[in-house]
Structure 1
Amino acid sequence: MSLMTPRAHVIGDPIAHSKSPLIHGFWLEKLGIAAEYVRVHVTSEELAKYIAASKADPRWIGSNVTMPHKQAIIPLLDRLHPLAKKLGAVNTVVRAKDGALVGYNTDTDGFLEPLREVLGKQHLFRMARILGTGGAARAIIAGLADQGFTLVVAGRNPDKARDLLDELAPKGEHHAISLDHFAQATDFTFDDRDQCFDLVVNASPLGMLGNPPLAFDWSHAPPGSVAYDIVTSPLDTQFLKNARDAGFETINGYAMLIGQAATAFEKFFGKPPPREYDAELMEILTA
């Protein structure tokens, strides 16, 4: 690599666990692009200094942003994409042609990507049960509301769930409920779900390594539902295993991870990633 090789980063605290360099590096190699994508450990106290140093580096083209910087970085940027402004969170910063730092949020695109085929079909009704009220839930609520879903958002604090719906999905008859509601079995008889699409999403850290499991009884899911867990460690969570045991299709957290990375990659390097190699990439990620 030359001294002027374009370079992008992923920043956070911690950051050693990030799979982003592996994903972006894989695509760069496949496309033969001479560029770098590396992890940079940045604490909250170092964030402003990091941005100043990056702006002064002619090689730097942008950064992906992980916790705890998704909100804190906003005042350090010049412009926000409308979705990032709506969500109040940035996970991708790009240096524009005029030198301005522009903040984006690619989480919504990433979450929706594995659903694009089914969402391209006509449905009489769409409903999503979203479990969690954190930052990821914000992107998911906004995205699914725009896709015509009726939403049921469940959290430990139903008032917070209601506030998210009022802010991000003010149109439609959406519902806020306690997360505990889904922990116990139900004998509810679902109506005919033909031509309907139902989605159950774990948008919380429950089930992630070091966190308690997510208590969800699959009797609450209509026939034909799809289970989607954004957790990536472990990749095959108990939530997904229980869903498969109950006969439901599943989507794991790498789908969203790769999807949001694909949107960021094109913003950084000016070309879409070579998605025909997704199977090979998944083998590397899960090795």
Structure 2
Amino acid sequence: MTRATPAPGARAAVLGHPIGHSRSPLLHSTAYRELGVQIDYTAIDILPEQAEQIAARLRTEPGWVGVSVTMPMKDALIPYVDEPSDRVRRLGALNTIVVSRDANGVRLLAENTDVEGIVRSLDLPVPAGDGKAVVAILGSGNTALAALEACSLMGVGRVELLVRNPERASAAVELARTLGLEATALPYRQGGPRLGTYDAVISTLPARAADSWVDALGLGEGETPGPDAGVIKPGAVLLDVAYDPWPSVLANAWEAAGGLVVSGLSMLVHQGVEQVRLFTGIQDADWGRVTNVMCDAVGLPRP
């Protein structure tokens, strides 16, 4: 996907619903300013039934270099792209579309940089013994699928998907096993007594969706937990991909229990850096500095 630096009038956007809270316009604009590239990056509120319409706009309107894609559009747009990456085919979810133009016309190329976002933001502790971490993933939707691929790249040994209905997570479990992970799906209410076995937890639930799970996991004050509930492994990390509002109820409860918390903004920054590479076509840059200024823009500590 290496391309020439965008011409004047280049534009990009983040697509999703709701989208008003998105920090992507700030992050991308900051990165382009640092790189000296003129790309006008906006937010477009869009629903899955408008997928074909937005794909047609990307093909026919001048200036488009790409779009970032968030919920609920990550699978809705796949039928309308020309070239999904191997990863997108495997996961059945994208978060990036690059608009490629050449003598043969316009092609829409799809990638999923959520995987890099999770890997780079979640610095997993190395467990004793066989060195294979155990990770719990809350949810089994499109972001959970990216989290599974990230776990595979990080050398995780076992993944437990904590979900409302384990039967509906069968595709995610199958993907995990295809990726070489030992995997099971459990009702989230069974997660509390197992918290002490997890080296990390990745919540892929939408904003506020995890609030009602906190007591069931034994991390809240509303219910009386079982004898082992709410006891987390020392140094265990929570990555909560939902970053608005922040801190989330789950993040507060995890920190109160003695765990480490990583904001979903960190994931957003790191996956955004990869999108900036793709939209600008620039490969040779000080990407560490670009990452730093993006972190500064949203008030995150520099990595």
TM bracket, shorter-chain basis? 0.7 to 0.9
Change (3 A) 1:14 1:128: same
**Residue equivalent to 2:247:** 236
Q: Are positions 1:269 and 2:280 aligned together?
A: yes
Q: Are positions 1:134 and 2:178 aligned together?
A: no
Q: CA deviation at 1:97?
A: 4.7
Q: Deviations over 1:210-235 (max 9, x none)?
A: x6453323535322211221111112
Change (3 A) 1:174 1:168: closer
Q: Which of 185, 193, 199 is 1:176 aligned to?
A: 185
Could you tell me which amino acid in structure 2 is paired with residue 17 of structure 1?
A: H
**Residue equivalent to 2:4:** none
Q: Distance in 2 between matches of 1:137 and 1:259?
A: 17
**Residue equivalent to 1:154:** 162
Change (3 A) 1:160 1:48: closer
Q: Are positions 1:282 and 2:298 aligned together?
A: yes
Could you tell me which amino acid in structure 2 is paired with residue 155 of structure 1?
A: V
Q: Is the 8 A contact 1:93 1:103 kept in 2?
A: yes
**Residue equivalent to 1:26:** 30
Question: After superposition, where does 1:69-218 map in structure 2 within 5 Å?
Answer: 69-98=73-102, 99-115=106-122, 124-149=131-156, 150-170=158-178, 171-183=180-192, 198-205=199-206, 207-208=208-209, 212-215=212-215, 216-217=217-218
Identical-pair percentage: 26
Query: What residue ranges of structure 1 are gaps of 5+ in the alignment?
Result: 191-196
Q: CA deviation at 1:32?
A: 2.1
TM-score w.r.t. the length of structure 2 is 0.79
Q: Is the 8 A contact 2:196 2:231 kept in 1?
A: no
Question: After superposition, where does 1:41-52 map in structure 2 within 5 Å?
Answer: 41-52=45-56
Q: Deviations over 1:174-214 (max 9, x none)?
A: 2221101124x57x986xxxxxx8111222236359x6453
Question: After superposition, where does 1:246-265 map in structure 2 within 5 Å?
Answer: 246-265=257-276
Aligned pair count reads: 273
Query: What residue ranges of structure 2 are gaps of 5+ in the alignment?
Result: 1-6, 220-229
TM-score w.r.t. the length of structure 1 is 0.83
Q: CA deviation at 1:123?
A: 6.6
**Residue equivalent to 1:194:** none
Q: What's the secondary structure of 1:160's corresponding residue?
A: helix
Q: CA deviation at 1:246?
A: 1.9
Change (3 A) 1:276 1:4: closer
Q: What's the secondary structure of 1:125's corresponding residue?
A: coil
Q: Deviations over 1:65-122 (max 9, x none)?
A: 2222221211111110111111111111002354321011111111111135867xx9
Q: What's the secondary structure of 1:14's corresponding residue?
A: coil
Change (3 A) 1:182 1:46: closer
More displaced, 92-101 or 73-82? Answer: 92-101
Q: CA deviation at 1:261?
A: 1.1
Q: Distance in 1 between matches of 2:212 and 2:48?
A: 27
Q: Is the 8 A contact 1:208 1:237 kept in 2?
A: no
Q: Is the 8 A contact 2:30 2:293 kept in 1?
A: no
Q: Are positions 1:14 and 2:18 aligned together?
A: yes
Could you tell me which amino acid in structure 1 is paired with residue 190 of structure 2?
A: H
Change (3 A) 1:125 1:33: same
Q: Deviations over 1:222-252 (max 9, x none)?
A: 2221122111111211222122222211111
**Residue equivalent to 2:40:** 36
Q: Deviations over 1:131-167 (max 9, x none)?
A: 2112211110122023221111111112233441222
Q: Is the 8 A contact 1:200 1:221 kept in 2?
A: no
Q: CA deviation at 1:16?
A: 2.4
* CA RMSD in angstroms, aligned pairs only: 2.9
Q: Is the 8 A contact 1:145 1:169 kept in 2?
A: no
Change (3 A) 1:92 1:169: same
Q: What's the secondary structure of 1:10's corresponding residue?
A: strand
Structure with the larger RCO, 1 or 2 (CA within 8 Å, 6+ apart): 2
Could you tell me which amino acid in structure 1 is paired with residue 97 of structure 2?
A: V
The structure 1 segments of at least 4 consecutive aligned residues displaced by more than 4 Å after TM superposition are: 116-119
